[in-house]
Amino acid sequence: MDCVLERIDAWLAAGLIDSATAERLRSAEAADDDHHATKEPTTAGPAAGPAAAAAAASTFFGPQPTIVEVFAYLGAGFFIGAWGAFLARLAGTDTRTPILAAGAALVAAVLIAVALRLRGGTARQRRGAGAALLAASWAAAIAGFALADVVGLELGPETQVFAFGFALAVAVLGRWMLPALTTQFGLLTAITGLAGGIFSLVDRRLNPCCGVEPFVDNPWTTVILPAVGWLVVAVLIGAIGLREARATDAPAQRRAALTRLWAGLVAVAGLATAVTRSGSLETGDYGRIIEPWIGELALAILAIVLLERAFRRNSAAYLAAAALAVVIALTDFNFRYLSESTDIGLLIEGAILLAVGLGAERLRRRLDRDADPADGDDPASAGAPA
């Protein structure tokens, strides 16, 4: 594969092809390499099953890392750590946050420049560019966090919104520069972090606080509003995954699988956090804001929706999220209504996990039987990591 990529680079340098054509050729070569890496181990018969699964998992992240590549990542990490230690020593105690903001912003700029240099190279170099862009988005978040302190924002939701706003800006730039799993992951984490900060900020404005937990004057603002908000965020992330899945190349399908899994997890985690929220009630007692069975029913409905999405899109990513929703709902039902002792509760919990695991595996096999490779759907439908 590297020989073919070198020829593409030579054609580009000689002016025989333009940069857009070169990028398409590299993507096609990477997809073909991934196809062979996944298919070849299956020709050895049934005994090659575990080896084939391991090969498929490795190709999900591109070509196998070399020793030089691993040490390059480690060395870059130590350089960044040394820079952080230098900034801490330079700042002292009085001017720490302005220097930290400037230093983190400089790190983000340097990493973006490195990514610009690497993104047109081989598959491993492009992976390095993606890692640099992911680290740049994290550095931008640190810079935003420090800058929030400089402008006088209190530590809390305002600071989180400020930090993840910077991270999202860099993540969007990185995703535009280089479509990859790493830049997609950076984009998804920034969106989720920014949404969490916004929801926390709205919750603080709508619900007066007393100590740690709010008084519950209106469950609509403490439970329903954040639950709907997280579901809306999950739908938006799912739309991103749907857009990725429209492409036919293997890298886009891997990004679609990651995005769909992330959307499902955001929906489940956001809804579960909202419906299981506790607080100081108007009666003076402390407890769940809404009845537990209502939250469990909401999670069960979400699991059904995710299962429908899984079979409609032939995506095991949604299936995994649905299984998580069922586990959370049944676990809450178990410890709220069924078991009064720890040993019985743990016994029932073990049965829940075994039943959900076996059921999810049977559904995954059905997805594999129903999947049509010609549809060009995501690798999650074929049992690839999602």
Residue with tokens 């096999």: 365
Contact predicate 241/259, CB 8 Å: yes
pLDDT of residue 138: 93
pLDDT at residue 84 in the model? 82
Read off the tokens for 1: 């594969």
Give the chain's residues under pLDDT 50: 1, 34-58, 210-212, 373-386
What tens digit of pLDDT does each residue of 189-229 get? 999 999 999 999 888 887 765 444 555 557 788 889 999 99
Provide the Cα torsion 45, 48, 54, 56; round to 10°.
Answer: -10
Residues contacting 201, CB < 8 A, separation 6+: 157, 158, 161
Burial 180-195 (b: 16+ CB within 10 A, else e): bbbbbbbbbbbbbbbb
Residue 215: the pLDDT is 53
- Owner of token pair 């991934």: 34
pLDDT at 294: 92
Question: Looking at residue 61, what is its pLDDT?
Answer: 64
pLDDT in tens, 17-43: 777 777 777 777 665 554 444 443 444
Q: Are 5 and 13 within 8 A, CB to CB?
A: no
Q: How far apart are CA 253 and CA 255, in angstroms?
A: 5
